[in-house]
């Protein structure tokens, strides 16, 4: 790396020393940068999930943060905590420990799975948050993402857009002859994207492609009646 420096020529760094530098040097620096980013971004949602770590034989809680940055939603890993007992009070203690450096005043909601112990944790956190900051967390069920997916699903199914988008994709799915005829008649090589029936929020590109291709589809309706 530094052929012009005699001291640097003798420098060696194996996997153990590299890991030590990253763990106790660079990691803390980048984590503090991440914490500062969250605190400067404004409102955020705290997400967590717990499971059994097969290596340590302990319960592991992974904590993630969802916040708004650069005109889009960011979901980032914050840290993990390990514990034996998994009561609601235990989970709350370790989650607060993991998020100790965050400005919890900006917390707007908590996202999790629907276990009873997690719902109890939500109630405890709600009470604690109200006592500290005089504000209530937004309740959107156990997982805000699932709630949002279901809201979009309601709009799709009301207008039966899901059936239309599935049908448009089915026209050309695994049908090379029809794809070739379509390209020959229209000069277009732009085809429909597959519709996802359980991640409804992620169907925006599918809908945008359908709007783009729809005028061409209506011009060659005869191709689909053969």
Which of 142, 175, 194 delimits the end of a domain?
142
Q: Which residues pair with 110 in a beta bridge?
A: 46
- Quote the crossing angle between the two packed helices 204-219 and 161-172, to the nearest 10°: 60
Per-residue pLDDT averaged across 3-15, rounded? 78
Q: What is the mean pLDDT of residues 179-208?
A: 86
Per-residue pLDDT reduced to its tens digit, 43-86? 999 988 888 888 888 888 899 999 998 888 888 999 888 888 88
133 and 59 share a domain? yes
Q: Write down which residue in 113, 142, 171 finishes a domain.
A: 142
Q: How many domains does the chain have?
A: 2
Q: Parallel, antiparallel, or unpaired: how do β-strands 58-69 and 44-53 relate?
A: antiparallel
Residue 4 lies in a domain: no
Q: Give the residue-averaged pLDDT of 157-180.
A: 86
Kindly report which listed range (30-34, 144-148, 167-171, 178-182) carries the lowest average pLDDT score.
Answer: 144-148
**Element containing residue 69 per DSSP (H, E):** strand 58-69
Same domain flag for 100 and 169: no
Q: What is the CATH number of the domain that holds 134?
A: 3.30.420
Same domain, 135 and 57: yes
Structural domain harbouring 127: 41-142
Same domain, 137 and 107: yes
Is there a domain that residue 136 lies in?
Answer: yes
Q: Residues 127, 70: one domain?
A: yes
| pLDDT in the model for residue 116 | 73
With respect to residue 7, please indicate whether it lies within any of the assigned structural domains: no
61 and 84 fall within a common domain: yes
The predicted pLDDT at position 103 comes to 92
pLDDT reading at 196 higher than 50: yes
% of the chain surpassing 90 pLDDT? 15
Of 110, 142, 174, which residue sits at a domain end?
142
Mode of pairing for the β-strands spanning 44-53 and 72-83: unpaired
> How far is residue 13's CA from residue 16's CA, in Å, rounded to a whole number?
8
- pLDDT beyond 50 at 226: no
How do residues 200-225 score in pLDDT, each as one tens digit?
A: 888 889 999 999 988 888 877 665 65
pLDDT of residue 106: 93
- Tell me, yes or no, whether 217 lies in a domain: yes
Same domain, 176 and 201: yes
Q: Note the maximum CA span of the chain.
A: 78
């Amino acid at each position: 790396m530094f052929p012009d420096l005699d001291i640097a020529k003798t420098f060696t760094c194996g996997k153990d020393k590299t890991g030590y530098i990253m763990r106790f040097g660079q990691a803390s620096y980048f984590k503090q940068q991440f914490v500062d980013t969250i605190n400067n971004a404004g409102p955020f949602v705290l997400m967590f999930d717990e499971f059994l770590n097969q290596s340590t034989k302990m319960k592991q809680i992974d904590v993630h943060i969802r916040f708004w940055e650069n005109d889009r939603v960011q979901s980032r890993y914050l840290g993990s905590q390990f514990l034996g007992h998994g009561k609601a009070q235990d989970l709350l203690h370790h989650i607060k420990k993991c998020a100790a450096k965050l400005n919890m005043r900006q917390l707007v909601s908590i996202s999790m799975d629907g276990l009873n112990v997690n719902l109890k944790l939500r109630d405890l956190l709600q009470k604690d948050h109200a006592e500290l900051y005089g504000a209530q967390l937004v309740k959107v069920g156990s997982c805000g993402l699932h709630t949002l997916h279901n809201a979009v699903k309601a709009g799709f199914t009301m207008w039966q857009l899901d059936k239309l988008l599935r049908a448009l994709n089915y026209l050309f799915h695994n049908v090379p002859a029809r794809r070739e005829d379509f390209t020959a008649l229209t000069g277009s090589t732009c085809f429909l994207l597959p519709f996802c029936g359980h991640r409804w929020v992620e169907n925006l590109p599918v809908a945008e492609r359908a709007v783009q291709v729809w005028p061409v589809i209506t011009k060659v309706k005869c191709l689909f009646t053969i």
